[in-house]
Amino acid sequence: MSLYQLQKLIYHVNRDAAQRERYRQDPAAFVKGYELSEAESAALLNVDVRMLYTMGVHSLLLRPFTLLNKISNEDYAKALKGLE
């Protein structure tokens, strides 16, 4: 598992319009460009908020990423409920 690579991918999607478009066009191919475990890739491709947070993705990266993936505030809060 590489938290650095995981957060780097999310940062690129959040901050770089060209990278974001590549991600939107083919998420599976985009994810392969980073050294991620199968679990990390699956969490990203499924936008599994709870798993990404549990893996250590910082909330300041995670929330913008989930907004780009149309995760509502309510669904985001539900996914993280009980992890305080």
Sketch the domain layout of the chain as residue ranges. Answer: 3-80
Residue % of the chain over a pLDDT of 70 = 98
Q: Return the HEC string of the chain.
A: CCHHHHHHHHHHHHHCHHHHHHHHHCHHHHHCCCCCCHHHHHHHHCCCHHHHHHCCCCHHHHHHHHHHCCCCHHHHHHHHCCCC
Q: Is the pLDDT score of 1 beyond 90?
A: no
- pLDDT bin (cut points 50, 70, 90) of residue 18 is very high
CATH number of 3-80: 1.10.700.10
pLDDT of residue 65: 98
Give the dihedral of Cα atoms 40, 13, 72, 55; nearest 10 deg: 30
